[in-house]
Amino acid sequence: MATPRLALLLSGLVAAAGLGLPAHADDAKDVSHVNKSIRVDDGMTAGRLDTVNGSIRLGARARATSADTVNGSVRIGAGAGIGAIDTVNGSVTLGEGARAASVETVNGSIEIAPDARVDGDVEAVNGGITIAAGADVGRHVGNVNGSITIRGARIGGNLSTTSGNVTLTEGARVEGRLTVSKPRGWSWNWGKPQLPRIVIGPGATVTGPLTFERDVELYVHETATVGEITGATPQRYAGDTPPAPKD
């Protein structure tokens, strides 16, 4: 039986192979630093990209097995391909037509450009997520704090947040469920708390149920298609934009 570490390594190599990325060829060397940024030039090929205090840049049409940093952003150029992307304190940008196995950050935003593809999950803890028209995410999209905006993209799995606003527009499609979770642990609110604003816009679709474990403002366009709604009363609207937020 394979050890957990070996199983993780093998799964990473399989994901890289599925993306047409290098595993460990002579021209696909790993790059590892502690206090330096990493840059792979346009059209070049690399292995694992790993740093602690520094950003990672993968040029247009370049290839790499994975990108992992603690304090730094990750930027993937147009048409590039990479396996898993992970950062703790930094944003992630996936360029137009680029492809990744998964995207994860703790404190930072995620931006996915038109026609880009993520085979697995797109997840943040404290940061907004923006996914442009024509992009495709194979599995879950979610965060805890931060707005989520899906413009004309397809989400193959579930969509979730705890305290963020959610906007689906330009015919965006979520093929799983949409969940707004109840905050966990202690929280301090001065004055009236601001409710998450959930907008299912023109032509948008959520095929699964919509479950709200906390109070929200829910707006559903007359041309949108949604599953069963639990925990909120939808306000139907017409036109390009929903009503202004309540005071």
Where b means 16+ CB within 10 Å and e means fewer, 107-135 reads bbbbbbbbbbbbbbbbbbbbbbbbbbebb
Contact 177, 195 (CB under 8 A): no
What is the per-residue DSSP string for 16-70?
HHHTT--SS-TTS--EE-SS--EEE-TT-B-SEEE-SBS-EEE-TT-EESEEEEE
Q: Count CB atoms within 10 A of the CB of residue 215.
A: 12
**In this predicted model, what pLDDT tens digit does every residue of 79-134 receive, in sequence order?**
999 999 999 999 999 999 999 999 999 999 999 999 999 999 999 999 999 999 99
pLDDT number for residue 247? 59
Nearest partner of 60 among 84, 43, 37, 85, judged by Cα = 43
pLDDT number for residue 82? 98
Nearest partner of 61 among 111, 97, 115, 15, judged by Cα = 97
Mean pLDDT of 191-219: 93
Mean pLDDT of 26-31: 75
C-alpha–C-alpha distance, residues 121 and 109, integer Å: 15
- Reported confidence tier of residue 193, pLDDT bands at 50, 70, 90: low
The one-letter code for the residue type at 26 is D
Mean pLDDT of 37-41: 96
Contact 79, 56 (CB under 8 A): no
pLDDT number for residue 186? 52
Task: Please say if the pLDDT value at position 187 is more than 70.
Answer: no
The CB-side HSE value for 190 (13 A sphere, CA atoms) comes to 0
pLDDT number for residue 191? 53
pTM of the model: 0.87
The one-letter code for the residue type at 179 is T
Task: Please say if the pLDDT value at position 190 is more than 60.
Answer: no
**In this predicted model, what pLDDT tens digit does every residue of 47-81 receive, in sequence order?**
999 999 999 999 999 999 999 999 999 999 999 99
**In this predicted model, what pLDDT tens digit does every residue of 129-186 receive, in sequence order?**
999 999 999 999 999 999 999 999 999 999 999 999 999 999 999 999 999 999 876 5
pLDDT number for residue 90? 97
pLDDT number for residue 5? 36
Task: Please say if the pLDDT value at position 37 is more than 80.
Answer: yes
Task: Please say if the pLDDT value at position 9 is more than 70.
Answer: no
- Reported confidence tier of residue 244, pLDDT bands at 50, 70, 90: confident
Instruction: Tell me the domain boundaries of the chain.
Output: 18-115, 120-247
pLDDT number for residue 194? 83
Contact 54, 38 (CB under 8 A): yes
pLDDT number for residue 126? 97
The CB-side HSE value for 165 (13 A sphere, CA atoms) comes to 12
Question: Which residues are within 8 A (CB) of 224 and not within 5 positions of it... i.e. 6 or more apart?
Answer: 168, 200, 201, 202, 203, 204, 205, 206
